[in-house]
Protein backbone atom coordinates (compact mmCIF):
# COMPACT_ATOMS: atom_id res chain seq x y z
CA UNK A 1 0.00 0.00 0.00
CA UNK A 2 2.96 2.44 -0.01
CA UNK A 3 2.79 4.98 -2.77
CA UNK A 4 6.28 6.42 -2.70
CA UNK A 5 8.93 5.80 -5.30
CA UNK A 6 11.42 5.93 -2.44
CA UNK A 7 13.02 9.20 -3.56
CA UNK A 8 12.79 12.61 -1.98
CA UNK A 9 11.53 15.60 -3.91
CA UNK A 10 13.19 18.99 -3.56
CA UNK A 11 10.37 21.53 -3.74
CA UNK A 12 10.66 24.25 -6.37
CA UNK A 13 11.55 27.80 -5.22
CA UNK A 14 8.50 29.70 -4.02
CA UNK A 15 6.49 26.52 -3.36
CA UNK A 16 3.70 27.34 -0.90
CA UNK A 17 3.63 25.07 2.15
CA UNK A 18 0.97 25.90 4.67
CA UNK A 19 -2.46 25.25 6.01
CA UNK A 20 -6.01 26.40 5.33
CA UNK A 21 -9.16 27.49 7.13
CA UNK A 22 -12.43 29.13 6.15
CA UNK A 23 -14.05 32.06 7.91
CA UNK A 24 -17.26 30.44 9.12
CA UNK A 25 -15.45 27.38 10.40
CA UNK A 26 -13.00 29.25 12.65
CA UNK A 27 -14.08 32.85 13.24
CA UNK A 28 -17.17 32.41 15.42
CA UNK A 29 -20.39 34.45 15.61
CA UNK A 30 -20.87 34.84 11.89
CA UNK A 31 -24.36 36.05 12.69
CA UNK A 32 -25.37 37.59 9.35
CA UNK A 33 -24.74 34.42 7.34
CA UNK A 34 -27.16 31.84 5.98
CA UNK A 35 -25.40 29.07 7.89
CA UNK A 36 -25.84 30.86 11.22
CA UNK A 37 -29.55 31.09 10.47
CA UNK A 38 -29.66 27.40 9.55
CA UNK A 39 -27.76 26.29 12.65
CA UNK A 40 -30.01 28.20 14.98
CA UNK A 41 -33.34 27.28 13.40
CA UNK A 42 -35.58 24.93 15.41
CA UNK A 43 -35.48 21.40 14.00
CA UNK A 44 -32.32 22.03 12.00
CA UNK A 45 -30.38 18.91 11.02
CA UNK A 46 -27.11 20.28 12.43
CA UNK A 47 -25.76 18.48 15.47
CA UNK A 48 -24.52 21.68 17.12
CA UNK A 49 -24.24 25.35 16.11
CA UNK A 50 -20.90 26.98 15.30
CA UNK A 51 -21.13 29.51 18.17
CA UNK A 52 -17.72 30.99 18.94
CA UNK A 53 -15.96 28.47 16.67
CA UNK A 54 -12.20 28.85 17.33
CA UNK A 55 -12.63 32.60 17.95
CA UNK A 56 -10.19 33.25 15.13
CA UNK A 57 -11.92 36.52 14.31
CA UNK A 58 -10.02 37.82 17.34
CA UNK A 59 -7.20 35.30 17.59
CA UNK A 60 -5.93 35.33 13.99
CA UNK A 61 -2.60 36.97 14.96
CA UNK A 62 -1.92 34.06 17.31
CA UNK A 63 -2.89 31.55 14.59
CA UNK A 64 -0.57 33.17 12.08
CA UNK A 65 2.27 33.42 14.63
CA UNK A 66 1.92 29.72 15.31
CA UNK A 67 1.89 28.75 11.63
CA UNK A 68 4.99 30.80 10.99
CA UNK A 69 6.79 29.43 14.03
CA UNK A 70 5.96 25.90 12.92
CA UNK A 71 7.80 26.55 9.64
CA UNK A 72 5.01 27.27 7.13
CA UNK A 73 5.23 29.99 4.49
CA UNK A 74 1.58 30.28 3.49
CA UNK A 75 -1.91 30.56 5.01
CA UNK A 76 -5.18 30.12 3.15
CA UNK A 77 -8.16 31.86 4.76
CA UNK A 78 -11.43 33.26 3.53
CA UNK A 79 -13.20 36.59 3.59
CA UNK A 80 -16.76 36.41 4.90
CA UNK A 81 -19.22 38.03 2.52
CA UNK A 82 -21.85 38.24 5.30
CA UNK A 83 -19.50 40.42 7.36
CA UNK A 84 -18.47 42.64 4.45
CA UNK A 85 -22.05 43.15 3.24
CA UNK A 86 -24.41 42.26 6.11
CA UNK A 87 -27.30 43.99 4.34
CA UNK A 88 -27.65 44.40 0.57
CA UNK A 89 -25.31 47.12 -0.64
CA UNK A 90 -24.26 48.12 2.90
CA UNK A 91 -20.53 47.58 3.22
CA UNK A 92 -18.97 47.32 6.66
CA UNK A 93 -15.78 49.39 6.53
CA UNK A 94 -14.73 47.81 9.83
CA UNK A 95 -14.94 44.32 8.31
CA UNK A 96 -12.96 45.44 5.27
CA UNK A 97 -10.33 46.86 7.63
CA UNK A 98 -10.32 43.62 9.62
CA UNK A 99 -9.43 41.52 6.58
CA UNK A 100 -6.91 44.13 5.36
CA UNK A 101 -5.17 43.72 8.71
CA UNK A 102 -5.16 39.95 8.22
CA UNK A 103 -3.56 40.26 4.78
CA UNK A 104 -0.94 42.66 6.13
CA UNK A 105 -0.41 40.44 9.17
CA UNK A 106 0.21 37.38 7.01
CA UNK A 107 2.68 39.20 4.80
CA UNK A 108 4.56 40.73 7.75
CA UNK A 109 5.02 37.23 9.15
CA UNK A 110 6.26 35.78 5.86
CA UNK A 111 3.04 33.87 5.17
CA UNK A 112 1.82 34.18 1.58
CA UNK A 113 -1.93 34.69 1.87
CA UNK A 114 -4.16 32.60 -0.36
CA UNK A 115 -7.54 34.28 -0.05
CA UNK A 116 -10.91 32.66 -0.75
CA UNK A 117 -13.77 35.07 -1.44
CA UNK A 118 -16.61 32.61 -0.91
CA UNK A 119 -16.36 29.46 1.19
CA UNK A 120 -19.87 27.93 1.38
CA UNK A 121 -21.57 30.69 3.41
CA UNK A 122 -23.46 33.65 1.97
CA UNK A 123 -25.16 36.62 3.61
CA UNK A 124 -28.56 35.67 4.89
CA UNK A 125 -30.23 38.28 2.65
CA UNK A 126 -28.62 36.69 -0.42
CA UNK A 127 -29.94 33.24 0.54
CA UNK A 128 -33.40 34.62 1.31
CA UNK A 129 -33.75 36.07 -2.19
CA UNK A 130 -32.97 32.72 -3.82
CA UNK A 131 -29.21 32.33 -3.35
CA UNK A 132 -27.29 31.28 -6.44
CA UNK A 133 -30.54 30.39 -8.21
CA UNK A 134 -31.66 34.04 -8.25
CA UNK A 135 -31.30 35.53 -11.74
CA UNK A 136 -28.88 38.26 -10.62
CA UNK A 137 -26.72 36.14 -8.28
CA UNK A 138 -23.58 36.50 -10.42
CA UNK A 139 -23.93 40.30 -10.50
CA UNK A 140 -24.47 40.46 -6.74
CA UNK A 141 -21.40 38.33 -6.18
CA UNK A 142 -19.35 40.49 -8.55
CA UNK A 143 -20.45 43.60 -6.66
CA UNK A 144 -19.24 42.04 -3.40
CA UNK A 145 -15.99 41.01 -5.06
CA UNK A 146 -15.46 44.64 -6.10
CA UNK A 147 -15.59 45.65 -2.42
CA UNK A 148 -12.92 43.08 -1.58
CA UNK A 149 -10.41 44.83 -3.87
CA UNK A 150 -9.61 47.17 -0.98
CA UNK A 151 -8.57 44.12 1.01
CA UNK A 152 -6.72 42.38 -1.79
CA UNK A 153 -4.66 45.45 -2.65
CA UNK A 154 -2.98 45.13 0.76
CA UNK A 155 -0.71 42.58 -0.95
CA UNK A 156 -2.61 39.48 -2.05
CA UNK A 157 -1.45 37.53 -5.09
CA UNK A 158 -3.52 34.32 -5.02
CA UNK A 159 -7.30 34.65 -4.94
CA UNK A 160 -9.87 31.86 -5.11
CA UNK A 161 -13.27 33.15 -6.14
CA UNK A 162 -15.49 30.28 -4.99
CA UNK A 163 -14.65 27.25 -2.89
CA UNK A 164 -15.89 23.90 -4.18
CA UNK A 165 -18.60 25.14 -6.55
CA UNK A 166 -19.32 21.50 -7.32
CA UNK A 167 -20.27 20.89 -3.69
CA UNK A 168 -22.40 24.04 -3.67
CA UNK A 169 -24.38 22.78 -6.70
CA UNK A 170 -24.77 19.37 -5.07
CA UNK A 171 -25.77 20.73 -1.67
CA UNK A 172 -28.35 22.98 -3.32
CA UNK A 173 -29.91 19.89 -4.90
CA UNK A 174 -29.92 18.13 -1.52
CA UNK A 175 -31.44 21.19 0.11
CA UNK A 176 -34.23 21.25 -2.49
CA UNK A 177 -34.99 17.60 -1.76
CA UNK A 178 -35.10 18.35 1.96
CA UNK A 179 -37.62 21.11 1.34
CA UNK A 180 -39.72 18.70 -0.71
CA UNK A 181 -39.39 15.46 1.28
CA UNK A 182 -38.09 16.43 4.72
CA UNK A 183 -34.64 15.57 6.00
CA UNK A 184 -35.44 11.98 6.95
CA UNK A 185 -36.70 11.29 3.47
CA UNK A 186 -33.43 12.41 1.99
CA UNK A 187 -30.75 10.82 4.12
CA UNK A 188 -32.25 7.37 3.84
CA UNK A 189 -30.37 5.14 1.45
CA UNK A 190 -31.64 2.82 -1.26
CA UNK A 191 -35.36 3.06 -1.78
CA UNK A 192 -35.91 4.77 1.58
CA UNK A 193 -34.13 7.93 0.43
CA UNK A 194 -35.94 10.61 -1.55
CA UNK A 195 -33.22 10.31 -4.11
CA UNK A 196 -34.07 6.61 -4.56
CA UNK A 197 -30.57 5.27 -4.42
CA UNK A 198 -29.40 7.52 -1.61
CA UNK A 199 -27.48 10.75 -1.71
CA UNK A 200 -25.08 9.35 -4.30
CA UNK A 201 -27.81 9.51 -6.91
CA UNK A 202 -28.60 13.19 -6.36
CA UNK A 203 -27.83 15.23 -9.47
CA UNK A 204 -26.18 18.63 -8.86
CA UNK A 205 -28.53 21.56 -9.46
CA UNK A 206 -27.86 22.47 -13.09
CA UNK A 207 -29.13 26.05 -12.78
CA UNK A 208 -26.79 26.63 -9.86
CA UNK A 209 -23.85 25.07 -11.71
CA UNK A 210 -24.42 27.56 -14.51
CA UNK A 211 -24.87 30.47 -12.09
CA UNK A 212 -21.64 29.61 -10.28
CA UNK A 213 -19.67 29.48 -13.51
CA UNK A 214 -21.15 32.86 -14.46
CA UNK A 215 -20.29 34.22 -11.01
CA UNK A 216 -16.72 32.94 -11.28
CA UNK A 217 -16.31 34.61 -14.66
CA UNK A 218 -17.84 37.89 -13.50
CA UNK A 219 -15.62 37.88 -10.40
CA UNK A 220 -12.53 37.09 -12.47
CA UNK A 221 -13.25 40.06 -14.74
CA UNK A 222 -13.55 42.38 -11.72
CA UNK A 223 -10.35 41.03 -10.17
CA UNK A 224 -8.26 41.09 -13.34
CA UNK A 225 -9.39 44.52 -14.43
CA UNK A 226 -8.22 45.99 -11.12
CA UNK A 227 -4.66 45.57 -12.38
CA UNK A 228 -3.28 44.42 -9.04
CA UNK A 229 -1.42 41.46 -10.51
CA UNK A 230 -3.92 39.07 -8.89
CA UNK A 231 -3.66 35.40 -9.80
CA UNK A 232 -7.23 34.19 -9.93
CA UNK A 233 -8.67 30.69 -9.77
CA UNK A 234 -11.24 28.57 -7.99
CA UNK A 235 -10.98 25.42 -5.92
CA UNK A 236 -12.75 22.19 -6.83
CA UNK A 237 -13.62 19.20 -4.64
CA UNK A 238 -11.85 16.35 -6.39
CA UNK A 239 -13.77 13.18 -5.75
CA UNK A 240 -11.32 10.76 -7.39
CA UNK A 241 -13.97 8.72 -9.13
CA UNK A 242 -12.54 5.29 -9.85
CA UNK A 243 -14.28 3.09 -12.39
CA UNK A 244 -14.59 -0.59 -11.57
CA UNK A 245 -13.78 -2.77 -14.57
CA UNK A 246 -16.53 -2.34 -17.16
CA UNK A 247 -17.90 0.84 -15.53
CA UNK A 248 -15.70 3.36 -17.33
CA UNK A 249 -18.55 5.06 -19.20
CA UNK A 250 -20.81 5.14 -16.16
CA UNK A 251 -18.00 6.69 -14.11
CA UNK A 252 -17.22 9.33 -16.75
CA UNK A 253 -20.91 10.28 -17.01
CA UNK A 254 -21.16 10.43 -13.22
CA UNK A 255 -18.04 12.58 -12.86
CA UNK A 256 -18.86 15.14 -15.53
CA UNK A 257 -21.60 17.22 -13.82
CA UNK A 258 -20.12 16.60 -10.37
CA UNK A 259 -16.56 17.68 -11.08
CA UNK A 260 -15.33 17.94 -14.67
CA UNK A 261 -17.53 20.83 -15.83
CA UNK A 262 -16.04 22.90 -13.03
CA UNK A 263 -12.52 21.93 -14.05
CA UNK A 264 -13.26 22.73 -17.69
CA UNK A 265 -14.47 26.19 -16.60
CA UNK A 266 -10.97 26.81 -15.20
CA UNK A 267 -9.09 26.37 -18.47
CA UNK A 268 -8.45 30.10 -18.84
CA UNK A 269 -7.67 30.72 -15.17
CA UNK A 270 -4.31 31.59 -13.63
CA UNK A 271 -4.34 28.51 -11.39
CA UNK A 272 -6.65 25.79 -10.16
CA UNK A 273 -7.12 24.58 -6.58
CA UNK A 274 -7.17 20.81 -5.98
CA UNK A 275 -8.95 19.56 -2.85
CA UNK A 276 -8.76 15.84 -2.26
CA UNK A 277 -9.41 13.58 0.70
CA UNK A 278 -10.52 10.16 -0.50
CA UNK A 279 -11.74 8.20 -3.51
CA UNK A 280 -15.17 7.14 -4.76
CA UNK A 281 -15.52 3.85 -6.59
CA UNK A 282 -18.11 3.66 -9.32
CA UNK A 283 -19.58 0.35 -10.47
CA UNK A 284 -21.85 -0.34 -13.45
CA UNK A 285 -24.85 0.68 -11.29
CA UNK A 286 -23.31 3.86 -9.91
CA UNK A 287 -21.44 4.78 -6.70
CA UNK A 288 -20.33 1.93 -4.46
CA UNK A 289 -20.06 2.03 -0.67
CA UNK A 290 -16.65 1.98 1.02
CA UNK A 291 -15.26 -1.55 0.81
CA UNK A 292 -16.13 -3.58 3.84
CA UNK A 293 -13.25 -3.74 6.29
CA UNK A 294 -11.47 -0.68 4.89
CA UNK A 295 -10.23 1.86 7.43
CA UNK A 296 -12.46 4.91 7.60
CA UNK A 297 -11.94 8.32 9.17
CA UNK A 298 -14.15 10.38 11.48
CA UNK A 299 -16.10 11.66 8.47
CA UNK A 300 -16.73 8.06 7.37
CA UNK A 301 -14.47 8.46 4.35
CA UNK A 302 -12.08 5.71 3.30
CA UNK A 303 -8.48 6.23 4.44
CA UNK A 304 -7.00 6.62 0.99
CA UNK A 305 -4.11 9.12 0.88
CA UNK A 306 -3.22 8.33 -2.74
CA UNK A 307 -6.35 10.32 -3.64
CA UNK A 308 -4.19 13.43 -3.70
CA UNK A 309 -1.83 12.33 -6.47
CA UNK A 310 -4.73 10.93 -8.46
CA UNK A 311 -6.74 14.15 -8.09
CA UNK A 312 -3.80 16.23 -9.27
CA UNK A 313 -3.31 14.00 -12.31
CA UNK A 314 -7.01 14.07 -13.19
CA UNK A 315 -7.16 17.85 -12.80
CA UNK A 316 -4.11 18.36 -15.03
CA UNK A 317 -5.66 16.07 -17.65
CA UNK A 318 -8.96 17.98 -17.75
CA UNK A 319 -7.72 21.55 -17.27
CA UNK A 320 -4.62 21.15 -19.41
CA UNK A 321 -0.89 21.54 -18.71
CA UNK A 322 -0.83 25.35 -18.79
CA UNK A 323 -2.82 26.00 -15.64
CA UNK A 324 -0.67 25.57 -12.51
CA UNK A 325 -2.12 23.63 -9.60
CA UNK A 326 -2.19 24.57 -5.95
CA UNK A 327 -3.36 21.92 -3.52
CA UNK A 328 -5.68 24.10 -1.48
CA UNK A 329 -7.01 21.31 0.76
CA UNK A 330 -5.93 17.82 1.77
CA UNK A 331 -6.19 16.24 5.18
CA UNK A 332 -7.93 13.77 7.45
CA UNK A 333 -10.48 13.86 10.26
CA UNK A 334 -8.98 11.75 13.00
CA UNK A 335 -8.44 11.73 16.73
CA UNK A 336 -5.23 9.77 16.19
CA UNK A 337 -2.51 12.20 15.18
CA UNK A 338 -0.17 9.36 14.15
CA UNK A 339 -2.71 8.46 11.46
CA UNK A 340 -2.73 12.10 10.35
CA UNK A 341 1.03 11.93 9.85
CA UNK A 342 0.85 8.63 7.99
CA UNK A 343 -2.01 9.87 5.81
CA UNK A 344 -0.22 13.09 4.96
CA UNK A 345 3.10 11.36 4.36
CA UNK A 346 1.50 9.12 1.74
CA UNK A 347 -0.61 11.90 0.24
CA UNK A 348 2.56 13.95 -0.21
CA UNK A 349 4.43 10.97 -1.66
CA UNK A 350 1.69 10.62 -4.30
CA UNK A 351 1.88 14.36 -4.96
CA UNK A 352 5.66 14.16 -5.36
CA UNK A 353 5.23 11.35 -7.89
CA UNK A 354 2.83 13.51 -9.93
CA UNK A 355 5.25 16.45 -9.78
CA UNK A 356 8.14 14.23 -10.89
CA UNK A 357 5.98 13.28 -13.87
CA UNK A 358 5.96 16.94 -14.87
CA UNK A 359 2.72 18.29 -13.40
CA UNK A 360 3.10 21.93 -12.41
CA UNK A 361 2.16 22.10 -8.73
CA UNK A 362 2.89 25.35 -6.89
CA UNK A 363 1.75 24.66 -3.36
CA UNK A 364 0.33 22.36 -0.69
CA UNK A 365 -2.06 23.79 1.91
CA UNK A 366 -3.15 21.27 4.50
CA UNK A 367 -6.76 21.14 5.69
CA UNK A 368 -6.86 22.33 8.31
CA UNK A 369 -4.72 24.66 10.36
CA UNK A 370 -7.09 24.31 13.33
CA UNK A 371 -9.66 21.88 14.64
CA UNK A 372 -12.81 23.67 13.53
CA UNK A 373 -16.52 23.63 12.77
CA UNK A 374 -17.11 20.85 10.28
CA UNK A 375 -20.43 22.08 8.86
CA UNK A 376 -22.80 20.95 11.59
CA UNK A 377 -20.47 19.41 14.16
CA UNK A 378 -17.15 19.83 15.94
CA UNK A 379 -16.57 16.08 16.13
CA UNK A 380 -14.44 15.45 13.02
CA UNK A 381 -11.08 16.98 13.92
CA UNK A 382 -9.04 17.93 10.84
CA UNK A 383 -6.62 20.32 12.58
CA UNK A 384 -2.86 20.37 12.80
CA UNK A 385 -3.49 22.54 15.85
CA UNK A 386 -5.96 21.55 18.58
CA UNK A 387 -8.24 24.24 20.02
CA UNK A 388 -9.67 24.07 23.52
CA UNK A 389 -13.41 24.83 23.08
CA UNK A 390 -13.62 26.65 26.42
CA UNK A 391 -10.39 28.62 26.67
CA UNK A 392 -9.63 28.67 22.91
CA UNK A 393 -6.02 27.76 23.80
CA UNK A 394 -4.13 26.51 20.76
CA UNK A 395 -2.04 23.38 21.03
CA UNK A 396 -0.02 22.28 17.99
CA UNK A 397 -0.12 18.54 17.42
CA UNK A 398 2.91 16.42 16.51
CA UNK A 399 1.66 16.45 12.89
CA UNK A 400 1.96 20.25 12.86
CA UNK A 401 5.61 20.08 13.92
CA UNK A 402 6.30 17.25 11.47
CA UNK A 403 4.74 19.06 8.49
CA UNK A 404 6.21 22.41 9.52
CA UNK A 405 9.70 20.88 9.59
CA UNK A 406 9.11 19.58 6.06
CA UNK A 407 8.04 23.05 4.94
CA UNK A 408 11.21 24.52 6.44
CA UNK A 409 13.40 21.89 4.76
CA UNK A 410 11.68 22.44 1.39
CA UNK A 411 11.66 18.73 0.61
CA UNK A 412 9.15 15.93 0.52
CA UNK A 413 10.94 12.84 1.85
CA UNK A 414 9.99 9.33 0.74
CA UNK A 415 7.24 7.82 2.90
CA UNK A 416 8.80 5.86 5.77
CA UNK A 417 5.85 3.81 6.85
CA UNK A 418 3.21 1.65 5.30
CA UNK A 419 -0.09 3.46 4.77
CA UNK A 420 -2.26 0.55 5.80
CA UNK A 421 -3.16 0.50 9.49
CA UNK A 422 -4.17 -3.10 9.55
CA UNK A 423 -7.22 -2.68 11.74
CA UNK A 424 -10.43 -1.35 10.13
CA UNK A 425 -12.73 1.23 11.65
CA UNK A 426 -12.83 4.95 12.33
CA UNK A 427 -10.06 6.54 14.40
C1 LIG B 1 -14.38 22.08 2.48
C2 LIG B 1 -14.07 22.36 3.93
C3 LIG B 1 -14.37 21.14 4.77
C4 LIG B 1 -13.47 20.01 4.30
C5 LIG B 1 -13.63 18.71 5.07
C6 LIG B 1 -14.03 20.70 2.03
O7 LIG B 1 -15.16 20.17 1.43
O8 LIG B 1 -13.88 23.08 1.65
O9 LIG B 1 -14.81 23.48 4.34
O10 LIG B 1 -14.22 21.36 6.13
O11 LIG B 1 -13.69 19.74 2.94
O12 LIG B 1 -14.92 18.20 4.94
- Structural domains in the chain, CATH included, are 9-412 (3.20.20.80)
Q: Whose CA is nearest to atom 3 of ligand 1?
A: 374
Q: Whose CA is nearest to atom 9 of ligand 1?
A: 22
Q: How far apart are CA 124 and CA 37, in angstroms?
A: 7
* Lowest-pLDDT choice from 40-44, 211-215, 393-397: 40-44
Q: Where are the alpha helices (DSSP H) in 153-278?
A: 165-181, 183-187, 206-225, 248-255, 261-264
CA 372 to ligand 1: nearest atom:
10
Sort 393 into a burial class: Cβ within 10 Å, 0-12 / 13-18 / 19+.
Answer: exposed
* Lowest-pLDDT choice from 196-210, 257-271, 398-412: 196-210
Q: How far apart are CA 264 and CA 279, in angstroms?
A: 20
Contact by Cβ (8 Å): 151, 160: no
Name the residue of 329, 368, 380 whose CB sits within 8 Å of the most ligand 1 atoms, as the mutation to test its pocket.
329
CA of 246 to the centre of ligand 1 (A): 31
Compute the mean pLDDT over every residue in the chain, rounded to the nearest whole number. 94
Q: How far apart are CA 386 and CA 340, in angstroms?
A: 13
pLDDT over 90, % of the chain: 88
Q: How far apart are CA 276 and CA 308, in angstroms?
A: 5
Strand partners, 395: 386
**123 phi and psi, to 5 degrees?**
-60, 150
> pLDDT tens digit string along 36-85?
999 999 888 899 999 999 999 999 999 999 999 999 999 999 999 999 99
**331 phi and psi, to 5 degrees?**
175, -170
pLDDT recorded at residue 181: 82
Instruction: Give the burial string for 33-46 (b: 16+ CB within 10 Å, else e).
Output: bbbbebbeeeeeee
Give how far the C-alpha of residue 51 lies from the chain's centroid of Cα atoms, to the nearest Å.
21
> pLDDT tens digit string along 126-177?
999 999 999 999 999 999 999 999 999 999 999 999 999 999 999 999 989 8
CA of 168 to the centre of ligand 1 (A): 11
Name the residue of 20, 340, 367 whose CB sits within 8 Å of the most ligand 1 atoms, as the mutation to test its pocket.
367
398 is catalytic: no
Q: 3-state class of 76 per DSSP?
A: strand
> pLDDT tens digit string along 107-122?
999 999 999 999 999 9
Q: With residue 418 as reference, give the H or E element that holds it.
A: none
Contact by Cβ (8 Å): 297, 427: yes
What is the pLDDT averaged over residues 343-362?
98
CA of 227 to the centre of ligand 1 (A): 31
Q: Where are the alpha helices (DSSP H) in 93-247?
A: 93-108, 124-128, 137-152, 165-181, 183-187, 206-225
CA 164 to ligand 1: nearest atom:
8
Cβ neighbour number for residue 87 with a 10 Å cutoff: 12
Report the candidate in 279, 277, 298, 285 with the shortest Cα–Cα distance to residue 253: 285
CA of 382 to the centre of ligand 1 (A): 9
The catalytic position among 27, 164, 306, 310 is 164
Determine if ligand 1 sits within 6 Å of the CB of residue 367.
Answer: yes
Determine if ligand 1 sits within 6 Å of the CB of residue 269.
Answer: no
Global pTM reads 0.96
The secondary structure of the chain in percent helix, strand, coil, rounded to multiples of 5, reads 40, 15, 40
Q: With residue 133 as reference, give the H or E element that holds it.
A: none
Amino acid sequence: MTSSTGRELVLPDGFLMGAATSAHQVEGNNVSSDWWALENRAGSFVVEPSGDAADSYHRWPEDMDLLRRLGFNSYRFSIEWARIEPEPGRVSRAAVEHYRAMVRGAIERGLTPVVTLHHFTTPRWFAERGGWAAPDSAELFAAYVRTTLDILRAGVRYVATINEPNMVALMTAVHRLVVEHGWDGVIGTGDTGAAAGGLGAVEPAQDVTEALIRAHRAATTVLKSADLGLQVGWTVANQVYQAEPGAERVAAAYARPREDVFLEAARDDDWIGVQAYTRHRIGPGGPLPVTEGAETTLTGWEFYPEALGEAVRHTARVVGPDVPIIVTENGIATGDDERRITYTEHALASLADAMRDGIDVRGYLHWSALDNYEWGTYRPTFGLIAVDPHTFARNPKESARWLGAMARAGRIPPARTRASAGAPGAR
